[in-house]
Protein backbone atom coordinates (compact mmCIF):
# COMPACT_ATOMS: atom_id res chain seq x y z
CA UNK A 1 0.00 0.00 0.00
CA UNK A 2 1.43 3.41 -1.01
CA UNK A 3 2.19 6.08 1.54
CA UNK A 4 -0.62 8.32 0.26
CA UNK A 5 -3.19 5.53 0.49
CA UNK A 6 -2.01 4.65 4.00
CA UNK A 7 -2.23 8.31 5.04
CA UNK A 8 -5.85 8.62 3.90
CA UNK A 9 -6.77 5.28 5.45
CA UNK A 10 -5.40 6.35 8.84
CA UNK A 11 -7.10 9.72 8.52
CA UNK A 12 -10.44 8.06 7.83
CA UNK A 13 -9.94 5.72 10.80
CA UNK A 14 -9.24 8.65 13.13
CA UNK A 15 -12.29 10.48 11.79
CA UNK A 16 -14.50 7.49 12.57
CA UNK A 17 -13.08 7.35 16.10
CA UNK A 18 -13.73 11.05 16.60
CA UNK A 19 -17.31 10.72 15.35
CA UNK A 20 -17.92 7.77 17.65
CA UNK A 21 -16.45 9.64 20.60
CA UNK A 22 -18.62 12.68 19.86
CA UNK A 23 -21.71 10.52 20.16
CA UNK A 24 -20.84 8.79 23.44
CA UNK A 25 -18.61 9.74 26.34
CA UNK A 26 -15.69 7.47 27.15
CA UNK A 27 -15.34 6.79 30.88
CA UNK A 28 -12.48 4.89 32.49
CA UNK A 29 -12.88 3.39 35.96
CA UNK A 30 -9.73 1.88 37.49
CA UNK A 31 -10.26 0.01 40.75
CA UNK A 32 -7.84 -0.98 43.48
CA UNK A 33 -9.72 -4.24 44.03
CA UNK A 34 -9.59 -6.89 41.33
CA UNK A 35 -13.16 -8.16 41.77
CA UNK A 36 -15.37 -6.49 44.39
CA UNK A 37 -15.43 -2.99 42.92
CA UNK A 38 -15.23 -4.00 39.23
CA UNK A 39 -18.10 -6.47 39.71
CA UNK A 40 -20.23 -3.71 41.18
CA UNK A 41 -19.57 -1.05 38.54
CA UNK A 42 -19.78 -3.46 35.60
CA UNK A 43 -23.32 -4.29 36.71
CA UNK A 44 -24.60 -0.79 35.89
CA UNK A 45 -26.73 -1.02 32.76
CA UNK A 46 -25.04 1.90 31.04
CA UNK A 47 -26.28 2.30 27.47
CA UNK A 48 -25.36 5.84 26.39
CA UNK A 49 -21.64 5.95 27.23
CA UNK A 50 -18.59 3.76 26.73
CA UNK A 51 -17.49 2.44 30.11
CA UNK A 52 -14.24 0.59 30.73
CA UNK A 53 -13.80 -0.92 34.21
CA UNK A 54 -10.47 -2.36 35.29
CA UNK A 55 -9.45 -4.12 38.52
CA UNK A 56 -5.70 -3.68 38.98
CA UNK A 57 -4.87 -4.93 42.46
CA UNK A 58 -2.64 -1.89 43.09
CA UNK A 59 -2.76 0.32 46.17
CA UNK A 60 -3.42 4.05 46.53
CA UNK A 61 -0.53 5.93 44.84
CA UNK A 62 0.46 3.03 42.61
CA UNK A 63 -3.11 2.82 41.33
CA UNK A 64 -3.16 6.50 40.35
CA UNK A 65 0.20 6.20 38.58
CA UNK A 66 -0.96 3.16 36.64
CA UNK A 67 -4.19 4.94 35.72
CA UNK A 68 -2.18 7.80 34.26
CA UNK A 69 -0.27 5.33 32.05
CA UNK A 70 -3.54 3.82 30.81
CA UNK A 71 -5.01 7.25 30.18
CA UNK A 72 -1.94 8.49 28.31
CA UNK A 73 -1.84 5.39 26.11
CA UNK A 74 -5.49 5.92 25.18
CA UNK A 75 -4.79 9.56 24.35
CA UNK A 76 -1.84 8.65 22.11
CA UNK A 77 -4.01 6.08 20.32
CA UNK A 78 -6.57 8.75 19.54
CA UNK A 79 -9.17 7.37 21.96
CA UNK A 80 -8.99 9.71 24.96
CA UNK A 81 -11.24 9.34 27.97
CA UNK A 82 -13.69 12.09 28.85
CA UNK A 83 -13.73 11.04 32.51
CA UNK A 84 -11.24 9.01 34.52
CA UNK A 85 -12.06 7.61 37.96
CA UNK A 86 -9.72 5.98 40.48
CA UNK A 87 -11.49 3.76 43.02
CA UNK A 88 -9.53 2.91 46.16
CA UNK A 89 -9.79 2.44 49.93
CA UNK A 90 -7.91 3.76 52.93
CA UNK A 91 -7.58 0.25 54.40
CA UNK A 92 -4.40 0.01 56.47
CA UNK A 93 -2.40 2.43 54.33
CA UNK A 94 -0.87 5.46 56.00
CA UNK A 95 -2.62 8.80 56.08
CA UNK A 96 0.14 10.18 53.86
CA UNK A 97 -0.39 7.50 51.22
CA UNK A 98 -4.15 7.99 51.18
CA UNK A 99 -4.10 11.80 51.11
CA UNK A 100 -1.35 11.89 48.50
CA UNK A 101 -3.22 9.48 46.23
CA UNK A 102 -6.24 11.79 46.21
CA UNK A 103 -4.03 14.81 45.52
CA UNK A 104 -2.27 12.97 42.68
CA UNK A 105 -5.59 12.03 41.10
CA UNK A 106 -6.70 15.67 41.19
CA UNK A 107 -3.37 16.76 39.67
CA UNK A 108 -3.90 14.44 36.70
CA UNK A 109 -7.47 15.63 36.30
CA UNK A 110 -8.94 12.36 37.56
CA UNK A 111 -11.82 11.82 39.98
CA UNK A 112 -11.29 9.83 43.18
CA UNK A 113 -14.07 7.54 44.38
CA UNK A 114 -12.47 6.71 47.70
CA UNK A 115 -13.68 4.92 50.82
CA UNK A 116 -12.36 5.37 54.32
CA UNK A 117 -11.99 2.66 55.48
CA UNK A 118 -13.30 0.22 52.87
CA UNK A 119 -15.58 -0.01 49.83
CA UNK A 120 -18.09 -1.99 51.90
CA UNK A 121 -18.96 1.27 53.67
CA UNK A 122 -20.86 2.22 50.51
CA UNK A 123 -22.85 -0.98 50.80
CA UNK A 124 -23.67 -0.36 54.47
CA UNK A 125 -25.03 3.11 53.66
CA UNK A 126 -27.81 1.40 51.71
CA UNK A 127 -29.03 0.12 55.05
CA UNK A 128 -28.33 2.94 57.50
CA UNK A 129 -26.63 6.23 58.17
CA UNK A 130 -23.36 4.95 59.60
CA UNK A 131 -20.80 7.01 61.57
CA UNK A 132 -18.93 4.45 63.69
CA UNK A 133 -15.14 4.25 63.21
CA UNK A 134 -15.04 0.51 62.58
CA UNK A 135 -12.71 -1.61 60.45
CA UNK A 136 -13.55 -3.69 57.38
CA UNK A 137 -14.16 -6.88 59.38
CA UNK A 138 -16.90 -5.11 61.31
CA UNK A 139 -18.33 -3.90 57.99
CA UNK A 140 -18.68 -7.48 56.82
CA UNK A 141 -20.53 -8.47 60.00
CA UNK A 142 -22.99 -5.60 59.51
CA UNK A 143 -23.51 -6.50 55.86
CA UNK A 144 -24.24 -10.13 56.71
CA UNK A 145 -26.96 -8.95 59.08
CA UNK A 146 -28.34 -6.48 56.54
CA UNK A 147 -28.40 -8.97 53.67
CA UNK A 148 -29.78 -11.82 55.76
CA UNK A 149 -27.02 -14.08 54.44
CA UNK A 150 -23.25 -14.23 54.76
CA UNK A 151 -21.64 -11.37 52.89
CA UNK A 152 -19.39 -12.56 50.07
CA UNK A 153 -16.74 -10.03 49.14
CA UNK A 154 -16.73 -10.75 45.39
CA UNK A 155 -20.48 -11.21 45.02
CA UNK A 156 -21.43 -10.38 41.41
CA UNK A 157 -25.02 -9.67 42.45
CA UNK A 158 -24.40 -6.87 44.95
CA UNK A 159 -25.54 -4.16 42.54
CA UNK A 160 -28.92 -5.81 41.99
CA UNK A 161 -29.29 -6.70 45.67
CA UNK A 162 -28.79 -3.08 46.71
CA UNK A 163 -30.35 -1.19 43.80
CA UNK A 164 -33.71 -0.54 45.45
CA UNK A 165 -31.96 1.32 48.30
CA UNK A 166 -29.40 3.17 46.19
CA UNK A 167 -31.04 6.60 46.59
CA UNK A 168 -30.91 6.13 50.36
CA UNK A 169 -27.21 5.28 50.17
CA UNK A 170 -26.50 8.43 48.14
CA UNK A 171 -28.30 10.59 50.71
CA UNK A 172 -26.40 8.94 53.56
CA UNK A 173 -23.03 9.34 51.83
CA UNK A 174 -23.65 13.04 51.22
CA UNK A 175 -24.80 13.57 54.79
CA UNK A 176 -21.71 11.77 56.07
CA UNK A 177 -19.33 14.03 54.12
CA UNK A 178 -21.05 17.18 55.35
CA UNK A 179 -20.14 16.44 58.97
CA UNK A 180 -16.41 16.79 58.29
CA UNK A 181 -14.39 20.00 58.11
CA UNK A 182 -10.87 18.56 57.84
CA UNK A 183 -9.15 18.76 54.45
CA UNK A 184 -6.94 15.84 55.46
CA UNK A 185 -9.34 13.25 54.12
CA UNK A 186 -7.64 10.31 55.82
CA UNK A 187 -8.91 11.71 59.13
CA UNK A 188 -12.51 11.69 57.94
CA UNK A 189 -13.52 8.20 58.96
CA UNK A 190 -15.92 6.83 57.95
CA UNK A 191 -16.45 8.58 54.62
CA UNK A 192 -16.83 7.77 50.95
CA UNK A 193 -17.20 9.50 47.60
CA UNK A 194 -18.33 6.40 45.71
CA UNK A 195 -21.77 7.98 45.38
CA UNK A 196 -20.29 10.62 43.06
CA UNK A 197 -19.31 7.94 40.56
CA UNK A 198 -22.66 6.19 41.00
CA UNK A 199 -24.49 9.42 40.17
CA UNK A 200 -22.39 9.84 37.02
CA UNK A 201 -23.10 6.31 35.82
CA UNK A 202 -26.81 6.72 36.48
CA UNK A 203 -26.88 9.58 33.96
CA UNK A 204 -26.03 7.11 31.20
CA UNK A 205 -28.67 4.53 32.02
CA UNK A 206 -31.69 4.60 29.72
The verdict on residue 75 lying in a domain is yes
The verdict on residue 73 lying in a domain is yes
**Which domain range does residue 52 map to?**
20-202
**Using one digit for the tens of pLDDT, what is the confidence trace for 62-91?**
999 999 999 999 999 999 999 999 999 998
The verdict on residue 12 lying in a domain is no
Quick check: 3 pLDDT over 80?
no
Quick check: 14 pLDDT over 80?
no
On whether the CB atoms of residues 39 and 156 are closer than 8 A, the answer is yes
Chain-wide mean pLDDT for the chain?
Answer: 90
pTM of the model: 0.87
Residue 134's pLDDT is 87
Counting the structural domains of the chain, the total is 1
* Distance (Å) of CA 180 to CA 100, 106, 192: 19, 20, 12
CA gap 38, 148 in Å, rounded:
23
The verdict on residue 194 lying in a domain is yes
The verdict on residue 7 lying in a domain is no
Residues 6+ apart with CB under 8 A from 177: 188, 191, 193
Helix ranges, 24-119 (H): 36-42, 60-76, 95-108
* Distance (Å) of CA 144 to CA 82, 147, 153, 187, 200: 37, 5, 11, 27, 28
The verdict on residue 10 lying in a domain is no
The verdict on residue 39 lying in a domain is yes
Angle at the Cα of 106 (from 131 to 193), degrees rounded to 5?
Answer: 25
The verdict on residue 198 lying in a domain is yes
CA gap 39, 53 in Å, rounded:
9
Could you give phi then psi for residue 60, rounded to 5 degrees?
-20, -85
- For the segment 163-187, the average pLDDT, to the nearest whole number, is 93
Specify the DSSP element, H or E, that contains 160.
Answer: helix 158-162
Proportion of the chain above pLDDT 90, given as a percent: 77
Amino acid sequence: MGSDALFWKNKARLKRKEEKRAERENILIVCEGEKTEPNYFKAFHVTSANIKVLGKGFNTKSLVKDTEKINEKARINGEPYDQVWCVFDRDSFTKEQFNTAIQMAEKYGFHAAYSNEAFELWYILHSEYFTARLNRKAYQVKLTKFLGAKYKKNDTLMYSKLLSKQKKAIRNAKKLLKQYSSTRLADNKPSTTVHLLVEVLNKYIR
